[in-house]
Structure 1
């Protein structure tokens, strides 16, 4: 159960921050966001706030922000359609009822002749027993009522496609960008909790019952010399200890202004093809806000470089697709890391966030990077590509991604049971 909870929390945080980036900049641009979803498939939970339905869905395979204008509007008022109009105090239409209109005795019943709910925001038609058509102004936040559900209309200036190229690109780029920001925040929190390693010849935290612990060394001991060799930094300490597995070392230390001598014999441990010495101590650390901010930047950049190199190696065939992990593999990894403590779980979440951000920036159709690539083509052409053709490309890209997901998930399942 702990594994399931840890996975749900990690997955939820990653997707939430990614989609929050899209949502925030879409709303800033004035785009109507119909739904903010975590997961796909059937709804588990939902609520509505400020025009947007927030949902949690069953399948933990991602999330989305459904913006008006990205897909064709599903409701269209065709000539001859009979509707009930509910007017606000100003006489403008605030609700358009499409079925069961008899339930609204106080509504204006209209047979549609013409409706423009994108630009002019008017509906024109014939009321019963009237020979002349009537035209009604429509409130820009008016809603369709159909099947017991209400759907807000989307005037053109509230649609994604109506916005400038820069606004659309920023809205799409904001998702991956938020993943990098999340990674920075998590790495910074780790720095604040654990402290930041410093390059001083000083004993940090000790491994319980390790060589150093048994020899009587204590956290905070300043190492002056080892075998009469002056120690200037933590690197000097670790270098000398690593070179002497199984050999006795004499340390001159300072503790509470007292000079002491301690002898240790580094344990021999295998590291690759090399045998190295270890005494069971961590480097000294210090806690500071500025240092944690610096650590957050450095670790985010370092992790981004590692993920980028891995992606290049995958594309160039330097390692197999079998090395990739999908939801099942991440689920198992999250469970193992969660057992080792909250700080390690934060580190895993930060690493996964960088992975998600960088992967989404790849110029692959259906990913954010693919959409940004189409925006670049639009900027070079001076006009957008045909929406139907672009939609088909994204559909094919999404299908291929789902196929990749199935292959990776199958590999994860085989690793789990074999």
Structure 2
């Protein structure tokens, strides 16, 4: 139960902030947001406020912000279509009823000849006495069909109608808010847990590791690797992990005496990835300072941003295989393990995941935010947007490929953790 709660809270928070970025910038640009959803699948909870339906859905594996004009949600009134209209006091159609069974005393009926629910906002046709009539349509008119109601979206409130810059910011805001969330979490860690000092202090050494064999002892402070000064434990750990099987010259400070120990990092397989280890346990030393906490938040965000990019580069160059990737099952398992070590470790894990989510979404792949930004780049070069249907097909193919990748990664997770 602890793992389930931790996973839902952590992943739900990351998804919420990602979608919140899209939502706020869409609203700021005047785009109608039809739905703000956390999760996928069947709706569990839903509330409508203003133009937007806010929902929580069954599968907590993502979320979405559905903006007017992004999908083909516009109901087109074709010639010969029989509809009902309810007019407001200003004579404009406020409700368009497509189901002829929904009859009310104040409803007008007509057979559509022409209609424009995007730009000119009118409906023209013949009433029950075969007279040709024309009614203006309210910008807030509702289309009612079989018990479901949908607000019309005037063209100026659709996503595609907005300037290129506004669309770019709306899409980029999702990953941006993930980076901001990570910064806030790391800053809060600096405020409440404290800021780890730069001392890479060794608490203990394993009995049979390369460090004890070389002569490193508990209480030593790591100063350098191969003559390069080490500023923090994270930097030291990253170097060791990236150099399995390599000879290293580790410099330490032992009670004011500067010593150097040659050793070879042991190659260890961790979830399909080969990393280096030397058999030491770190003991962080913390200090509390509000101003330094903000700096710490920025430094940690930047450190993990670069680190994740380095790992992506290793994946591209083949330094580790796709088997090392984790999907929802792997993240679920890891979240449960981290949660056992307390709230601060869980917060740090959430911050790293948030950066990872932001970077993954910025990859120039179809169906991801980065893929959409790539199409905006083509639009900027061409001077006109790519055909909407062609772009939609590319994103559809991208979604299918991403689903295939997710299946492969999930299967790897299942085999790794349950077999």
Q: TM-score, normalised by structure 1?
A: 0.81
Match of 1:172 in 2: 171
Asked if 2 retains the 8 angstrom alpha-carbon contact of 1:94 and 1:139, the reply is yes
Give ranges in structure 2 of 5+ residues lacking alignment: 205-230, 234-250, 259-265, 268-275
| Counterparts of 1:360 and 1:274, CA distance in 2 | 34
- Alpha-carbon RMSD across the aligned residues, in angstroms, is 2.8
| Counterparts of 1:368 and 1:22, CA distance in 2 | 10
In the TM superposition, what are the counterparts of 1:17-416 in structure 2 within 5 Å? 17-131=17-131, 133-198=132-197, 239-240=253-254, 274=278, 282-283=284-285, 285-416=286-417
In the TM superposition, what is the alpha-carbon distance from 1:185 to its structure 2 partner?
0.3
| Counterparts of 1:370 and 1:102, CA distance in 2 | 43
In the TM superposition, what is the alpha-carbon distance from 1:6 to its structure 2 partner?
0.8
CA deviation profile, 1:149-181 (whole Å, cap 9, x unmatched): 110001110111101000000000000000000
CA deviation profile, 1:277-332 (whole Å, cap 9, x unmatched): x7x8542x322221111001000000000100111111221101010010000001
| Counterparts of 2:4 and 2:326, CA distance in 1 | 17
Say which SS state the counterpart of residue 253 (structure 2) adopts: helix
CA deviation profile, 1:25-45 (whole Å, cap 9, x unmatched): 111111111111111111111
CA deviation profile, 1:77-135 (whole Å, cap 9, x unmatched): 1111111111122111111011044531211112111111111111111111143x111
Asked if 2 retains the 8 angstrom alpha-carbon contact of 1:84 and 1:104, the reply is no
- CA 1:328–1:234 in 2, change beyond 3 Å: closer, same or farther? closer
| Counterparts of 2:41 and 2:49, CA distance in 1 | 21
| Counterparts of 1:20 and 1:380, CA distance in 2 | 29
| Counterparts of 2:160 and 2:279, CA distance in 1 | 62
In the TM superposition, what is the alpha-carbon distance from 1:241 to its structure 2 partner?
6.5
| Counterparts of 1:281 and 1:377, CA distance in 2 | 50
In the TM superposition, what is the alpha-carbon distance from 1:386 to its structure 2 partner?
1.5
- CA 1:273–1:345 in 2, change beyond 3 Å: closer, same or farther? closer
Asked if 1 retains the 8 angstrom alpha-carbon contact of 2:197 and 2:284, the reply is no
Match of 2:262 in 1: none
In the TM superposition, what is the alpha-carbon distance from 1:397 to its structure 2 partner?
0.8
- CA 1:273–1:386 in 2, change beyond 3 Å: closer, same or farther? closer
Tell which structure's C-alpha radius of gyration is larger.
1
Check if 1:6 corresponds to 2:6.
yes
Say which SS state the counterpart of residue 53 (structure 1) adopts: strand
Say which SS state the counterpart of residue 294 (structure 1) adopts: helix
Q: More displaced, 107-116 or 181-190?
A: 107-116
Say which SS state the counterpart of residue 96 (structure 1) adopts: strand
Q: More displaced, 79-88 or 297-306?
A: 79-88
Say which SS state the counterpart of residue 239 (structure 1) adopts: strand
Give ranges in structure 1 of 5+ residues lacking alignment: 208-232, 245-269
| Counterparts of 1:273 and 1:92, CA distance in 2 | 73
CA deviation profile, 1:394-416 (whole Å, cap 9, x unmatched): 11111100000000000000011
In the TM superposition, what is the alpha-carbon distance from 1:2 to its structure 2 partner?
1.1
Q: TM-score, normalised by structure 2?
A: 0.81
CA deviation profile, 1:242-274 (whole Å, cap 9, x unmatched): 999xxxxxxxxxxxxxxxxxxxxxxxxx99675
In the TM superposition, what is the alpha-carbon distance from 1:239 to its structure 2 partner?
2.7
| Counterparts of 1:282 and 1:48, CA distance in 2 | 48
- CA 1:376–1:282 in 2, change beyond 3 Å: closer, same or farther? closer
- CA 1:395–1:108 in 2, change beyond 3 Å: closer, same or farther? same
Asked if 2 retains the 8 angstrom alpha-carbon contact of 1:84 and 1:101, the reply is no
Query: How many positions carry a matched residue from both structures?
Result: 363
